């Protein structure tokens, strides 16, 4: 309503005569001219007032000048339901449901920028329809440990993959006049002790691993806002960190947008003023009044205390003007942008997007015959099976609930069991098998052993009589699973699933395992589990999407965006003792440095159970021998690498052709190879397509701490072409001079 009033006022002013419109209200003028004009009209108090929240999810504008407030919503998988002004309780609205899109791990697993574009456009339409100015997402923190409770909100372990997919998401979202708020900047790689843990990391690891996706979001995606993280970085909180916010984000990268604190992530007025924070959100400095319904400037670090520092000359007015200018720029791009589309809440169209993205993101981890002489279990041929038993809590659980700030109030959510019944009718029977408990965020519910035994015994008895078992397990969004503000306690499958699988496989080897999770898990019986599908949190359309792949209507084409270590200790972050994870309670040291994920597995020769980039299909692809356009690349030159890829199977399918490059003899530590390109192609049976990659000098560089710049050393390099980081189908060598 307030935004409508502001718009009507602007129109009314325009009717009086265009010459009388203040510059800051004239959308025909360049934004920088409008910002300068608005600043000149504002008082010091009005500028400060824009620098902190006024409610849980809004910050003030300048009412005297008709400049509206900013309204924010949690994301990044859907637009969160409305909550109360200054309480985390829901507001009780009946028109604030949404479409739940797949979690960002699933988007990353598509390896398809076109899917990121679809995703960003659709979620932007819903955010705009709900009159949001800022969507808090997407998240691009790097997957460092499979125990991180918030990995499901991010885009995997590789900076190149995350960088490539975040750009179209941000661009399409912002075309709706809704700002992306890319999070959590930076090095937020664990939820355990997240409020104060101090990340000790090398400059090189920051630039090569943990910052590239943020940089791409800013410089290529044009992100209008960034959210700071809770943790400290090299001694200073990330929400007011001079190195990451001023020196890197704003100076080196030229970011012209707004830095928003994570909620409650601000701790100091002077640091916040000087170290790059623009809008402080969620602060409550009154321990005795945490439930108050009134936000006041005196209670915010960037409120009255900030104003006093400026008045006293301890903080220059230039600093205040920079913050106010950034906020005004954001308001002109969003809340005061009358040219933006109206948005829409088209559940049918957006559910189709969710199903399409989910279908491309599901990963077929393995698909073997259960017995010698039999066919692989997938895709399910209904003529082979009279009785299909569905087992597992995740077959019926509402997986859009829980997880912390990403919890969604969905217009609909179709379970795997319901979709299996829709597809296979009376062939389907169901039993729970294990029970995870219907817990709320922040609580843990224990299940009595007698219940565990009863559920397992029932499942085993029914498994004996079934022709095929579809076990839907994995993790969920309870605390200490895939959930904010707490990490997983174990790498194993929880709730007795290992024992349940063991018992069912012992009586019937025809078990298809569907893992629902945003994290890698330890596969308990890899040699006994014939078919395993990694399905992620797919959102509103989880059931139909999973069944699309199970039945073969959709040929799986997802590839893992992170490695599945065979054991937790095979993961780099868990190879140096507690100081490397979870830390000593004060700090955590990234001792693996740049060797994250597949870089560690390759370089240390520690095979992953399922490598980065892995994903099977119901068809097969033959790779031709790669060729390269020259043997040497100059500093200002390029090389072309080409190869043919053929669908050598009997089904239409999509393949992700992956380019990795390695420096064969470097003077500094470098991984064996690093992802530098990929293309997802669709091929009919028997079809051949030529794939071309352009190799540039930038692909050969590492970050030099001595030069504080990207450097490529002269010498020999190898380009690897693969279907995964370990399934290398061809390679060529070349030199850099």
Write the pLDDT tens digit of every residue in 35-86: 999 999 999 999 999 999 999 999 999 999 999 999 999 989 999 999 999 8
CA dihedral (561, 567, 571, 577) in degrees, to 10, reads 150
Q: Give the span between the Cα atoms of 48 and 61, in whole angstroms.
A: 10
Write the pLDDT tens digit of every residue in 658-678: 999 999 999 999 999 999 999
Residues 307 and 427 in one domain: no
SS (H, E, C) 398-458: CCCCCCCCCCCCECCCCCHHHHHHHHHHHHEEEECCCCCCCCCCCCCCCCCHHHHHHHHHH
- Find the mean pLDDT for residues 194-213: 97
In a domain, 608, yes or no: no
Q: Give the span between the Cα atoms of 680 and 13, in whole angstroms.
A: 51
pLDDT at res. 5? 54
pLDDT at 271 over 50: yes
- Say how many domains are in the chain: 3
Q: How many CB atoms lie within 10 A of CB 731?
A: 16
Q: How many CB atoms lie within 10 A of CB 276?
A: 27
Q: What is the CATH number of the domain that holds 634?
A: 2.60.40.10
DSSP string spanning 662-721? Answer: EESS-SS---S-EEEEEEEEEE-TT-EEEEEEEE-GGGG-EEETTTTEEE--SEEEEEEE
Residues 320 and 440 in one domain: no
Boundary of a domain, candidates 531, 562, 593:
562
In a domain, 479, yes or no: yes
Q: Residue 290: CA atoms inside 13 Å, Cβ hemisphere, count?
A: 4
**In degrees, to the nearest 5, what angle opens at C-alpha 531 toward C-alphas 529 and 536?**
110
Helix (H, G, I), strand (E, B) or coil at 363: strand
- So which residues are the catalytic ones? 262
Residues 123 and 238 in one domain: yes
Residues 259 and 146 in one domain: yes
Boundary of a domain, candidates 562, 582, 608:
562
Share of the chain above pLDDT 70, in %: 95
pLDDT at 288 over 70: no
Residues 377 and 237 in one domain: no
282: left (phi over 0), alpha (psi -120 to 50) or beta: left
Residues 311 and 177 in one domain: yes
pLDDT at 399 over 50: yes
**Is the pTM value of this prediction over 0.85?**
yes
Write the pLDDT tens digit of every residue in 141-181: 999 999 999 999 999 999 999 999 999 999 999 999 999 99
Question: How confident is residue 437, by pLDDT bands cut at 50, 70 and 90?
Answer: confident
Residue the block writes with tokens 């205040």: 320
CB 68 within 8 A of CB 8: no
Count the helix, strand and coil residues of the chain and give each as a percent rounded to the nearest 5: 35, 20, 45
pLDDT at res. 287? 47
Boundary of a domain, candidates 333, 353, 377:
333
pLDDT at res. 706? 96
Q: What is the CATH number of the domain that holds 108?
A: 3.20.20.300
Q: Give the span between the Cα atoms of 206 and 228, in whole angstroms.
A: 15
Residues 327 and 424 in one domain: no
- Find the mean pLDDT for residues 396-415: 93
Q: Give the span between the Cα atoms of 733 and 650, in whole angstroms.
A: 34
In a domain, 624, yes or no: yes
In a domain, 63, yes or no: yes
pLDDT at 342 over 50: yes
- With a CB cutoff of 8 Å and minimum separation 6, the contacts of 639 are 628, 629, 630, 633, 694, 695, 734
pLDDT at res. 20? 85
Task: Report the relative pairing of strands 70-74 and 58-59 from DSSP bridges.
Answer: antiparallel
Residues 188 and 291 in one domain: yes
- With a CB cutoff of 8 Å and minimum separation 6, the contacts of 174 are 124, 180, 222, 223, 224, 333
In a domain, 4, yes or no: no
pLDDT at 438 over 90: no
- Find the mean pLDDT for residues 369-373: 93
SS (H, E, C) 282-293: CCCCCHHHCCCC
Lowest mean pLDDT among 15-29, 82-96, 549-563: 15-29
Encoding tokens for residue 384?
């082979």
In a domain, 165, yes or no: yes
Write the pLDDT tens digit of every residue in 523-572: 999 999 999 999 999 999 999 999 999 999 999 999 999 999 999 999 99
pLDDT at res. 294? 59
pLDDT at 713 over 80: yes
Range of the structural domain that residue 271 is part of: 22-82+97-333
pLDDT at 349 over 80: yes
- With a CB cutoff of 8 Å and minimum separation 6, the contacts of 527 are none
pLDDT at 448 over 90: no
CB 233 within 8 A of CB 187: yes
Write the pLDDT tens digit of every residue in 328-339: 999 999 999 999
Q: Give the span between the Cα atoms of 542 and 410, in whole angstroms.
A: 12
415 CB burial (10 A radius; 0-12, 13-18, 19+):
buried
In a domain, 690, yes or no: yes
pLDDT at res. 495? 94
In a domain, 456, yes or no: yes
Residues 264 and 220 in one domain: yes
pLDDT at 9 over 60: no
Residues 438 and 306 in one domain: no
Which one, of 469, 485, 465, 466, lies nearest residue 477 by Cα?
485
Residues 161 and 213 in one domain: yes
Helix (H, G, I), strand (E, B) or coil at 252: helix
Which one, of 271, 269, 270, lies nearest residue 242 by Cα?
271
Residues 327 and 369 in one domain: no
Beta bridge partners of 472: 514
Q: What is the CATH number of the domain that holds 409?
A: 3.40.50.1700
What is the pLDDT of the chain when averaged over all its residues? 94
């Amino acid at each position: 309503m307030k935004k409508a009033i502001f718009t009507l006022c602007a129109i009314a002013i325009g009717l009086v005569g265009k010459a009388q419109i203040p510059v800051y209200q004239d959308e025909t003028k360049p934004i920088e001219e409008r910002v300068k004009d608005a600043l000149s009209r504002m008082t010091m108090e009005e500028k400060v007032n824009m620098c902190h929240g006024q409610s849980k999810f809004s910050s003030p504008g300048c009412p005297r000048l008709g400049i509206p407030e900013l309204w924010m919503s949690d994301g990044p998988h859907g637009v969160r339901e409305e909550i109360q002004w200054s309480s985390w309780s829901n507001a009780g609205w009946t028109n604030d449901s949404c479409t739940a899109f797949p979690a960002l791990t699933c988007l990353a697993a598509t390896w398809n920028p076109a899917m990121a574009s679809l995703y960003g456009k659709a979620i932007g339409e819903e955010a705009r329809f709900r009159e949001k100015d800022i969507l808090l997402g997407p998240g691009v923190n790097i997957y460092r440990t499979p125990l991180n409770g918030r990995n499901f909100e991010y885009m995997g372990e590789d900076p190149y993959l995350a960088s490539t997919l975040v750009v179209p998401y941000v661009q399409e979202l912002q075309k709706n006049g809704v700002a992306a708020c890319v999070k959590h900047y930076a090095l937020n790689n664990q939820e355990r002790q997240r409020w104060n843990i101090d990340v000790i990391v090398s400059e090189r690891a920051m630039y090569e691993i943990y910052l590239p996706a943020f940089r791409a979001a800013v410089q290529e995606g044009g992100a209008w806002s960034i959210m700071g993280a809770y943790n400290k970085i090299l001694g200073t909180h990330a929400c007011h960190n001079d190195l990451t916010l001023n020196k890197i984000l704003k100076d080196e990268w030229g970011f012209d947008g707004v830095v928003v604190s994570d909620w409650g992530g601000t701790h100091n007025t002077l640091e916040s003023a000087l170290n790059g924070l623009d809008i402080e959100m969620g602060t409550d400095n009154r321990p005795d009044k945490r439930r108050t319904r009134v936000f006041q400037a005196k209670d915010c670090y960037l409120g009255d205390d900030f104003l006093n520092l400026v008045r006293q000359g301890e903080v220059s007015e230039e600093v205040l003007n920079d913050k106010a200018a950034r906020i005004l720029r954001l308001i002109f791009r969003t809340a005061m942008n009358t040219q933006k589309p109206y948005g829409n809440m088209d559940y049918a169209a957006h559910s189709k997007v969710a199903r399409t993205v989910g279908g491309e993101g599901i990963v077929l981890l393995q698909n073997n015959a259960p017995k010698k002489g039999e066919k692989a279990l997938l895709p399910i041929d209904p003529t082979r099976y009279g009785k299909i038993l569905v087992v597992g809590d995740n077959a019926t659980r509402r997986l859009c609930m829980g997880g912390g700030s990403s919890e969604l109030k969905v217009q609909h959510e179709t379970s795997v069991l319901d979709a299996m019944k829709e597809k296979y009718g009376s062939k389907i029977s169901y039993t729970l098998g294990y029970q995870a408990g219907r817990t709320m965020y922040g609580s843990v519910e224990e299940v009595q052993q007698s219940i565990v035994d009863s559920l397992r015994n029932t499942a085993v008895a029914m498994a004996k009589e079934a022709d095929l078992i579809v076990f839907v397990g994995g993790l969920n969004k309870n605390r200490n699973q895939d959930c904010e503000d707490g990490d997983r306690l174990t790498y194993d499958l929880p709730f007795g699933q290992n024992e349940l699988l063991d018992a069912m496989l012992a009586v019937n080897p025809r078990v298809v395992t569907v893992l629902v999770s945003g994290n890698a898990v330890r596969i308990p019986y890899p040699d006994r589990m014939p078919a395993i599908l990694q399905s992620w949190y797919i959102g509103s359309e989880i059931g139909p999407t999973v069944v699309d792949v199970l039945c073969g209507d959709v040929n799986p084409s997802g590839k893992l965006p992170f490695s599945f270590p065979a054991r937790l200790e095979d993961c780099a972050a868990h190879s140096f003792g507690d100081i490397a994870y979870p830390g000593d309670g004060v700090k955590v040291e990234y001792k693996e440095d740049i060797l994250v994920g597949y870089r560690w597995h390759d370089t240390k020769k520690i095979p992953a159970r399922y490598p980065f980039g892995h994903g099977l299909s119901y068809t097969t692809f033959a790779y031709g021998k790669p060729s390269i356009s020259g043997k040497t690349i100059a500093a200002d030159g390029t090389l072309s690498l080409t190869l043919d890829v053929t669908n050598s199977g009997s089904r239409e399918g999509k393949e992700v052709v992956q380019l990795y490059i390695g420096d064969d003899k470097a003077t500094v530590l470098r991984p064996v190879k690093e992802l530098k390109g990929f293309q997802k192609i669709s091929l009919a049976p028997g079809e051949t397509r030529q794939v071309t990659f352009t190799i540039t000098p930038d692909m050969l560089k590492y970050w030099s701490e001595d030069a504080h710049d990207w450097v490529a050393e002269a010498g020999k390099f190898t380009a690897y072409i693969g279907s995964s980081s370990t399934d290398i189908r061809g390679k060529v060598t070349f030199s850099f001079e």
